[in-house]
Amino acid sequence: MRIKIASNSVDKINGIKHAIARCFAIQDAELEVFHQQTDSGVPDQPFDEETYLGALNRVNNLINPEENIDFYVSCEAGIETFLGKYFNVQVVCIYDTNSQKYFFGKSAGWQIPSEDMEIIKKINLDSYLRSCKGITNIKQLLGNDNSREYMVDQATYMALASRNLC
């Protein structure tokens, strides 16, 4: 199976690879993985629909009909608003070249303090975590079992599961 990922992030690449291997019950060695950074076309700190649009844009910037790729995959981290609360989520977009359809999935989200949103809007979530909360590695916040890789894996698996419905 050949996949192309819109990122050079090791966490994103590993999370995507793991979810695809698990979903199709194959070994990592059976995956041929290509990756490159692509532009999202959305702000550095996307909110709500911008997160989904960023993931879609990244996939569309990867697609090359002359390549023999099974799945084009991207992941965009963003902040979702719900009931006046803010949550950080990972959104994955997959383009399945066989069906020529797009599939989306997202991870579970963790709540961000509402009172700090003005700061986050100015400097982005990553800078906020580092400078205001002293968190330099997401495992400090989420623990070893909920790494960025795990969240990307979860979102990828949800996107792949959506193929069974659409």
The answer to whether residue 115 is domain-embedded is no
The answer to whether residue 129 is domain-embedded is no
In total, how many domains does the chain have?
1
The answer to whether residue 124 is domain-embedded is no
**20-71 pLDDT per residue, tens:** 999 999 998 899 999 999 999 999 999 999 999 999 999 999 999 999 999 9
The answer to whether residue 12 is domain-embedded is yes
The answer to whether residue 117 is domain-embedded is no
CATH assignment of the domain containing 53 = 3.90.950.10
- Each residue of 42-75: b (16+ CB within 10 Å) or e? beebbbeebbbbbbbbbbbbbeeeeeebbbbbbb
pTM of the model: 0.91
Q: What is the residue range of 34's domain?
A: 2-109+144-162
